[in-house]
Amino acid sequence: MRKKLTPKLLDNLPPAEGKRYEVRDELVTGLRIRISNAGNKVWYLATRVDGVSRRIKLGTYPVLSLKDAREQAQRILRDIQLGTFQQRDVEPAPEVLTLGDVIPQFITRYAQRHTKVACCRFFGHWVKLILPCFQIPSG
C-alpha cells in the first residue's frame, strides 16, 4: 500500500499478522518500510541499479527517522542516476574453479583416505596425463 508517511503513522503501524508487510512512501519513489510480525520496522529503497532490481537496506525505525530515510533514499537515487553509486557491502564474485582445480582437491580430501594405495597411484597418473585437458570453468 502507498501512503504519505508521517512520524505519527509510522508509530501507529501495527505488527504484521503472520507475514511481514511493506508500506510505500508517496513522496520518495522506492522508499519503503517493512514491518515484521515482531513489530520491527526497517527502511528499504527498492530501485534498479545497472538494470538489476535492488533492495537496499537503509536502517531501522526509529533509529533512522522518516526525514533521514527520505534524505538517504534521495541521495542514493541521485548517485544511481549520476552513475556514482557504489554499494558498500557488495561481495566480490567468487573465483571460478576449473575441473583441473577441483579434481586434485577431491583426490587429496577424499580419495586418499577412502581408497587403496593402488588407486591413489592411478589417480596420480591420471592427474599428470589427463587433467590438463580439463582446464575449463566448472561453474
Domain that holds residue 106: 99-134
Residue 31 has a pLDDT of 92
Question: 10-residue block means of pLDDT along the chain (139 residues)?
Answer: 84 86 90 90 89 87 90 90 73 67 76 74 72 61
Cβ–Cβ < 8 Å for 131, 107: no
Number of domains in the chain: 2
Same domain for 20 and 66, yes or no, is: yes
Helix H or strand E segment including 71: helix 66-82
Distance set, CA 104 to CA 24, 35, 111, 115 (Å): 52, 49, 10, 15
SS3 of 125, please?
helix
Same domain for 76 and 112, yes or no, is: no
Backbone angles phi, psi at 118, to 5 degrees: -60, -40
Residue 63 within any structural domain of the chain: yes
Residue 80 has a pLDDT of 87
Give the dihedral of Cα atoms 28, 45, 53, 82; nearest 10 deg. 70
Name the DSSP letter for residue 88. T
Same domain for 7 and 38, yes or no, is: yes
Backbone angles phi, psi at 51, to 5 degrees: 80, 0
d(CA 112, CA 129): 19
Report the greatest alpha carbon distance in the chain: 76
Residue 88 within any structural domain of the chain: no
